[in-house]
Amino acid sequence: MQSNHTNNMGGGGNKLENLSHHCKETKPNPLAIFIKDKKRWILSLVKNSKQHQKLKAELAQLQINLDSTQLKLLDSIKQNQILQNQLKSQESKIKLQDSKLTKLTPQSYLRILEIHLAEHCNLNCFSCNHFSQLAPKGFPDILQFKQDMERLSNLTFGLVGRFHLMGGEPLLNPNCKDFFQVTRKYFPKSAIWLVTNGILLESQPKDFWESCRENKIEIHPTKYPIKVNWEVIEQKCKDFGIPLIFYDNSNIQKTSYKTILDLKGSLDSLNGFSYCHQANNCTHFKNGKIYPCSIAPNIQYFNAAFHQNLPITPIDFIDIYKAKDYHEILQFLAKPIPFCRFCNLAKWKSIGEWKTSKKEIGEYLE
């Protein structure tokens, strides 16, 4: 019966069962799910925390490594800087020694010989190291000059690298071209520079330019902060094929430099000579005598202007009529002269903007 009954229920009873099964599957117990999720979450927290701790430890170790690497790097940068400074100071010591050695070594032949074509100047520069702002009007005698150049040419076999015809202002000499001609005659292979402030170049007559061309004179002006029509001068030089080369660089204007003397002459001559940029370099030729610089041969103008008596003795120069040969001249120029004791080289300095002289002794004192 029962089975019948069941049977009687027929397919309808099965359907209900199936339905109830189906409901069980699609409607999970939310609490169980919640607990399950929370479990998972808590487990993941525990797991993550371990991971975090591990990562943190690794990071801390990395930081320690980084800090120590940084310290090592900083240390080696410092060491490098110390080494670089030591190298720089070694380099400047070597350069100084090298420059001292150059001054105290006789030249193989004279590289530069300076000659005044005028003692005075049309510019009035502060602390001029030729004392030309203090000098009265004066020119070398052309006959004496010819004789001196002939003797010098014989002594040197015509082997002088370069002449600087200068001053003072050389163009104040109305007979410049005669001096060009004599210099070229006795020194056919040397370079001859006309070293000028340029003020009088524009007004030079045609025969001046022709003489420059014939005697292969190069014009080397210094640019002072004064009005000079350089365009016209450049054109003139182009027209006559004469090299025009500015001192240093055409854009640089002259600044002022203070040449400081010690009136008592109490300094060490060798020390002064060794540090002097003029020594055995700006060799000066005046009245048949050669000096190692421009200071000693022109100190007479300082003495006269300021009632001083910084003496020049016969052992401060070499007389070309007494020198037995070129070798003796070159040897002489590579040694300090007694006058070096008056030059306070350690105090010589650039003082910036170019300025004019008030013709005061203070321009040459500390």
Name which of residues 338 to 357 contact ligand SF4 (CB under 6 A). Answer: 339-340, 343, 345
Closer Cβ to ligand SF4, 158 or 265, answer by number: 265
Q: Which is nearer to ligand SF4, 122 or 181 (CB)?
A: 122
The secondary structure of the chain in percent helix, strand, coil, rounded to multiples of 5, reads 50, 15, 35
Alpha-carbon distance of 47 to 226, in angstroms, equals: 87
Q: Which of 140, 272, 288, 297 binds ligand SF4 (CB under 6 A)?
A: 272
- Closest by CA to 243, choosing from 186, 162, 354, is 162
Part in contact with ligand SF4 (CB under 6 A); list of ranges 82-90, 117-125, 145-153, 174-182:
117-125
Q: Is 293 in the site for ligand SF4 (CB under 6 A)?
A: yes
Cβ contact 122:172 at 8 Å: yes
Residue 198 lies near ligand SF4 (rule: CB under 6 A): no
Residue of the chain from 140, 167, 198, 297 that contacts ligand SF4 (CB under 6 A): 167
Q: 125 vs 329, which CB is nearer to ligand SF4?
A: 125
Closest to ligand SF4 by CB, 123 or 192: 123
Q: Which of 292, 318, 332, 363 binds ligand SF4 (CB under 6 A)?
A: 292
- Alpha-carbon gap, residue 111 to 58, rounded angstroms: 73
Terminal CA-CA length for the chain: 142
Q: Minimum distance between the CB of residue 216 and ligand SF4, rounded to whole angstroms?
A: 24
d(CA 363, CA 366): 8
Candidates 128, 172, 182, 312; binder of ligand SF4 (CB under 6 A) is: 128
Residue nearer to ligand SF4 on the CB measure, 12 or 136: 136
Residue of 263, 274, 278, 351 whose CA lies nearest to 309: 263
Instruction: From 198, 177, 179, 195, select the one nearest 187 (Cα to Cα).
Output: 179
Determine which residue in the list 113, 125, 176, 201 makes contact with ligand SF4, applying CB under 6 A.
Answer: 125
Q: Quickly list DSSP for 165-197.
A: EEES-GGGSTTHHHHHHHHHHH-TTSEEEEEE-
Site residues for ligand SF4 per CB under 6 A:
121, 123, 125, 128, 130, 132-133, 167-169, 197, 272-273, 276, 278-279, 292-293, 295-296, 337, 339-340, 343, 345
